[in-house]
Amino acid sequence: MYFGVNDILVLSQALWALTDGIHIKLFQPTRPKPVPRNNSSSIITAFDMGISDEEWERLQKAIDWPIPDQEITHLSQSTSPVHSTFSIVGLKESYKVGEKISVIITARDHNKNLKRYGGDFFKAKLFNAELKASVYGEVVDHRNGTYSVALLLPWEGQAQVFVRLEHSSEVVQILKKYRESSFPRSHYNGYFEGPGLNETKIFEVVECNLKWGADGSWRKGDCCCEYKDIKTGTVWQCERPKELSCDHLVHHSYGRLESPLNLFEQQLFTKSGMTTPVPAGFYLNDVWKSFVCNTRQFSPAQMANCLKNKIVYLMGDSTTRQWFEYLERNVPGIKRMDLHTRPTNGPLMAVELKNNIIIHWRPHGVPVRFSKMPITDLHYISNDIDEMAGGPHAVIVFTFFAHLVFHPITFYVYEVARIRQSVVALLRRAPETTVIIKSGNTAGLKNIFQSDWHMLQLDTVMREMFRDIDGVIFLDVWQMTSCHYLREHIHPGPVVIANEVNMFLSYVSPSCGLKKKKKSFLVRNISWKFFL
């Protein structure tokens, strides 16, 4: 396609606007509507989620995603990673550091036909494996089968453009369909223990799951024991044991996964406020250079000094446990206390007496896919925050994404609303408390159970719901994990974790501030690849 001078100028301005957090939407706003759960008569309203109609409308706009405008009856109609292409607009031999290049992606189906609608989930980045350098690119969906990416050129040397089709729009439609379904994709085990006859002990293992909505039971009839958290209102159900009573539930663990996909859907899968700047930073020599704050690289002694007289509460999942383990390995003199818990499940605690440092880690409450552990050790994040006094010595970090991808997004909104309420109350009584939300990270997973598309949707909800809360720091690791040159993994590698913790410490330390502009160098020889 040919662009005149004015056309290029307008396009460039639009892409620059995206880096300032301005999202250009090419669709008409829709009125907020209740969300019906498939296979269920239950209707989830904003009131059920504990938020206003206005906020629910805003959240629906934020996570809105186009779907095919026609019924898909043949696999060949889905987006093809082989026949889809991208090109660099106005490619030059060399560029100055700080310039941007514009990439246009054109989606085609397996018959090489141009797609007329959007909704494909693409990822894009610029990288140089030799320099261990990479930067994230946000893909803008124009809802007509074309997509654009503005990629910053932040280092001197060669660069390679990488574009990958994560999911076709047809697969995203399936993900959306089953996200709000009452079909339980993830099951959990409940372990009941109690006394039997003649001083014996009875052990029973049953399936458990979330109950969400008035008619949201995953089992029908008088099937289950119900456990309702008094403060959050969350209801957990376990099948009723044959011999023991409901009050004998002792342990919890992950259970089986169950796919709702029919044969055609399975084949499609195999085919194919708190605004963070884009990009938020870049890697160079395996070190994350942040555009948000003056990220430092901390030596072990500097880590100890930064955390002096601090109590750090890490909550969430195994990715915050990775932070705990990194600090345990690198802070001089810190020792893990024996809490008689499994090292992978927690809760965990480490102390360093010389500098008066205490670090806690605990997983969040059910639903959570951990190995067998006492169910009493699984606490809801909001409840734990309610029990904290806070203050200048307190640093609270939580993440709440990976284990929620199996459940309706309306339930996620409900839980985040509870956490937000607790955070607001904490900052009201102790405004000097440091509160950090660790964003979701990419994992490179592309199945009906766990998909980066699900994670991105939850991440968007969290950002939107906390964007107007003063005093909360959103630490964006989505870009840090998405753009690294190594293969994505649900548990990021040591290099990524080290950079995440350095970013965290940069916020704990008072040295954090805005970055200054860098001098210009030349970037030469840009090449490109397209990946499935």
Answer for the pair 441, 399: CB distance below 8 angstroms, yes or no.
Answer: no
At 158 the pLDDT is 85
Q: What angle do CA 245, 248, 254 make, to 5 degrees?
A: 115
Residue of 302 and 279 predicted with greater confidence: 302
The model's pLDDT over 68-80, given as tens digits with 9 standing for 90+, comes to 888 888 999 999 9
Type and span of the H or E element at 184? none
Question: From CA 186, how far away is CA 317, in angstroms rounded?
Answer: 17
Exposed, middle or buried, 39 (CB in 10 Å: 0-12/13-18/19+)?
exposed
Among 81-85, 425-429, 464-468, name the one with the lowest average pLDDT.
81-85
Mean pLDDT across 137-157: 93
- Give the model's confidence band at 40: pLDDT under 50 very low, under 70 low, under 90 confident, else very high: very low
pLDDT surpasses 90 at 261: yes
Q: Is the pLDDT of residue 32 over 60?
A: no
* Percentage of the chain modeled with pLDDT above 70: 83
- pLDDT tens-digit series, residues 327-375: 999 999 999 999 999 999 999 999 999 999 999 999 999 999 999 999 9
Q: Kindly indicate the confidence band of residue 42, based on its pLDDT and cuts at 50, 70 and 90.
A: low
Compute the distance between CA of residue 148 and CA of residue 165 in angstroms, rounded to an integer: 14
**Residue 103 DSSP SS3:** strand
Confidence of residue 407 (pLDDT cuts 50, 70, 90): very high
pLDDT at 518: 37
In the predicted model, what is the mean pLDDT of the chain? 84
Three-state secondary-structure class, residue 324: helix
Q: Which of the two residues, 67 and 501, has the higher pLDDT score?
A: 501
Q: Give the model's confidence band at 283: pLDDT under 50 very low, under 70 low, under 90 confident, else very high.
A: low
Residue 512 has pLDDT above 50, yes or no: no
The arithmetic mean of pLDDT across residues 275-292, rounded, is 63
What are the backbone angles phi and psi of residue 486, rounded to the nearest 5°?
-80, 160
Does residue 392 have a cis peptide bond before it, meaning omega lies within 30 degrees of 0?
no
- Whether the per-residue pLDDT at 276 is higher than 70: the answer is no
Please say if the pLDDT value at position 41 is more than 80.
Answer: no
| pLDDT tens readout for residues 432-460 | 999 999 998 888 778 888 889 999 999 99
- Coil/strand/helix, residue 90: coil
Q: Which of 116-120, 169-173, 508-512 has the lowest mean pLDDT?
A: 508-512
- Can you give the pLDDT at residue 308? 94
The whole-number pLDDT of residue 116 equals 94
Peptide bond into 279 cis (omega under 30): yes
Q: Cβ–Cβ contacts within 10 Å for residue 54, how many?
A: 10
Work out whether strand 357-363 and strand 348-352 pair parallel, antiparallel, or are unpaired: antiparallel
CA dihedral sign of residues 333, 356, 385, 234: positive
For range 476-500, the mean pLDDT = 82
Residue 368 CA to residue 400 CA, distance in Å, equals 10
Q: Residue 189 in 3-state DSSP? A: strand
Average pLDDT over residues 269-292: 63
Q: Are 396 and 30 in contact (CB under 8 A)?
A: no
Local structure of residue 108 (DSSP, 8 states): B
Distance CA 35, CA 408 (A): 10
DSSP codes joined into one string, 13-47: HHHHHHHTTPPP--S-------EEPTTS--EE-HH
What distance lies between CA 437 and its chain's CA centroid? Answer: 11
Q: Which of 293, 334, 284 is nearest to 505 (CA)?
A: 293
Higher per-residue pLDDT: 486 or 375: 375
Say which amino acid occupies 462: M
Q: Are 93 and 200 in contact (CB under 8 A)?
A: no
Q: How confident is the model at residue 482 (pLDDT cuts 50, 70, 90)?
A: confident
- Across 209-218, 394-403, 458-467, least confident range: 209-218
- Which whole number is the average pLDDT over 28-55? 68
Q: Is the pLDDT of residue 81 over 80?
A: yes
Task: Give the pLDDT mean for 32-47.
Answer: 62
Q: What are the tokens at 188?
A: 């959990």
Would you say residue 67 has pLDDT above 50?
A: yes
Query: How many other CB atoms sit within 10 Å of the CB of residue 517?
Result: 6
Give pTM, 2 decimals.
Answer: 0.85
Higher pLDDT, 3 or 516: 516
Give CA–CA dist 389/259, Å, rounded. Answer: 44
Q: Are 282 and 364 in contact (CB under 8 A)?
A: no
